[in-house]
Amino acid sequence: MDPFGTYKKVVSARSTLKEVLKTCQDGGIVSTAFIYGLENNLLDGVIVADNAGEFKAIPKVATTPEEVLEAAGTKYTVCPNISVLKSAVREYGCEKIGVVGTPCQVRAVRKLMKYPVGFRHIPDKISLIIGIFCMENFPYNGLKLIVEEHCGVKMEDVVKMDIGKGKFWVYTKWGETKAIKLKETHPYEQVACHVCTDYTAELADISTGSVGSPDGWSTVFIRTAKGEEIFNKMVEDGYLEVKPIEEVKPGLGLVEKLALTKKEKNMKEIEHRKELGLPVPY
């Protein structure tokens, strides 16, 4: 089974922008790419998941680097980013749009570009699609329950959440760190995630996530000509530091293991649904 989908190259990378490194989740790749795009006129609007307070995620059309920075960091809950795509074109007047999304959202964007039945004059305005690695997502109330009941932390006190090393981590504004086993979070996953076999956002121009790279770095797949062009420019202009993936720990092997785990587990679920006579995307 092919774990990663089509790609041109894969590297480990980290932002060189100080203000990004202060607020970003791992290597700050998404924020840096969008800031670079906006500053260099490659993009004029980007769709991001903003933190609406207490880690409620809402989609936002950001048109300045400041707005991108405000939205930095992973939210671990559902955020309907694609719902503001038309508004980015019609209301914000954007013509070169960057979109960040989970693998399923990236797939939705590729579908609407190929079959734009209800998306008049939109497909040609999507300039960059960045995908983030994703095993599953949590509905907001599921996330809240994990944080408040299992970690014993009030949502209002949380400054960062993270998933890594088999654990779900919560950091508070009082400097505390709480962690629970990832297994404890499984009952609160969004069940619709279980028909998805895409871990590394296989249809994005660029996909990124923490897995495979050391702390503070991100693994980056460069998949398309478009993705390669902007990524190379960012490196040339000094926005990103890059290391060969072969030279970092834990390396690509871990990404492959998780990607295949997701595929195998969810293919079984798809088969199970078929046996029950339930529909699956086709």
Number of residues in contact with other proteins under rule CB under 8 A = 54
- Hey, which bits of 79-172 come out as E strands? 97-101, 126-132, 158-164, 167-172
Confirm or reject binding of residue 222 to other proteins (CB under 8 A). no
- What x-and-dash track marks residues 166-205 binding other proteins by CB under 8 A? ------------------------xxxx-xx-----xx--
Pinpoint the alpha helices (H) of the chain: 18-23, 29-39, 65-70, 85-90, 103-114, 140-145, 225-236, 252-276
> Which whole-number Å values give the CA distances from 179 to 134, 137, 232, 255, in the listed order?
19, 18, 37, 22
- What x-and-dash track marks residues 30-69 binding other proteins by CB under 8 A? -----------------------------x----------
Of 60, 58, 53, the C-alpha closest to 79 is: 58
User: Which residue, 151 or 196, has its beta carbon nearer to other proteins?
Assistant: 196
Q: How far is the CB of 84 from other proteins (least distance, A)?
A: 7
User: Which residue, 167 or 226, has its beta carbon nearer to other proteins?
Assistant: 226
Which residue pairs, CB below 8 angstroms and at least 24 apart, start in 150-153? 150/180, 150/184, 150/185, 151/178, 151/179, 151/180, 152/178, 153/178
- Map the footprint of other proteins across residues 84-123, applying CB under 8 A: 84-87, 101-102, 104-105, 107-108, 110-112, 114-123
* The binder of other proteins chosen from 83, 177, 232, 261 (CB under 8 A): 83
Of 53, 111, 99, the C-alpha closest to 77 is: 53
User: Which residue, 141 or 261, has its beta carbon nearer to other proteins?
Assistant: 141
Confirm or reject binding of residue 223 to other proteins (CB under 8 A). yes
User: Which residue, 3 or 250, has its beta carbon nearer to other proteins?
Assistant: 3
d(CA 59, CA 47): 7
- Residue 250 identity: P
Q: How far is the CB of 224 from other proteins (least distance, A)?
A: 6
Torsion sign (Cα): 132, 67, 147, 153: positive
Q: Which residue has the tokens 């932390």?
A: 153
Structure tokens at 94: 């954007």
Confirm or reject binding of residue 225 to other proteins (CB under 8 A). yes
Confirm or reject binding of residue 139 to other proteins (CB under 8 A). yes
User: Which residue, 28 or 45, has its beta carbon nearer to other proteins?
Assistant: 45
d(CA 98, CA 67): 14
Q: In the complex, which residues of this chain contact other proteins (CB under 8 A)?
A: 5-6, 59, 77-87, 101-102, 104-105, 107-108, 110-112, 114-124, 137, 139-141, 190-193, 195-196, 202-203, 223-225, 278-282
